[in-house]
Amino acid sequence: MIAHKSTELSTDMDSGVVERCVYGRQLHMFNVFSLQEAKAFGAEKWEVERAVGCCIERLYRACYFVNRTCTKHTQFNRFAEPEILRLTGEASSAGKGRAWFGLQEKKHLGKAEFIGRRLSDGDVLSHTTAALIHGLPVLSIPHKVQLINPSRSRPGERFTRRQRQLRPAEETVQWNSIPVTDPVRTVLDIATDISLEQAVAAFDALLRSEPVKTQGRKHAAREIIASNAKFSASMRVVKLMEYSTG
pLDDT tens profile 60-72: 888 999 999 999 9
**6 — phi, psi (to 5°)?**
-80, 150
> Which DSSP symbol is given to 96?
S
Q: What pLDDT was estimated at residue 22?
A: 39
Q: What percent of the chain has pLDDT over 70?
A: 86
H or E element, residue 26: strand 25-27
Q: What pLDDT was estimated at residue 7?
A: 35
**77 — phi, psi (to 5°)?**
-65, -30
Q: What pLDDT was estimated at residue 120?
A: 93
Whether the CB-CB separation of 125 and 10 falls below 8 Å is answered with no
Region 10-31: mean pLDDT is 45
Helices of type H across the chain = 35-40, 45-51, 82-94, 98-116, 127-133, 168-171, 183-193, 196-209, 214-227, 229-232, 235-243
- 95, β-bridge pairs: none
Q: What pLDDT was estimated at residue 240?
A: 96
Separation of alpha carbons 59 and 203, rounded Å: 30
Separation of alpha carbons 90 and 66, rounded Å: 15
Whether the CB-CB separation of 20 and 38 falls below 8 Å is answered with no
Whether the CB-CB separation of 133 and 151 falls below 8 Å is answered with no
Whether the CB-CB separation of 172 and 166 falls below 8 Å is answered with yes
More confident residue, 13 or 223: 223
pLDDT tens readout for residues 176-190:
999 999 999 999 999
Q: Is the pTM of this model over 0.85?
A: no
Whether the CB-CB separation of 100 and 55 falls below 8 Å is answered with no
Separation of alpha carbons 34 and 213, rounded Å: 39
Separation of alpha carbons 127 and 190, rounded Å: 5
Separation of alpha carbons 185 and 171, rounded Å: 6
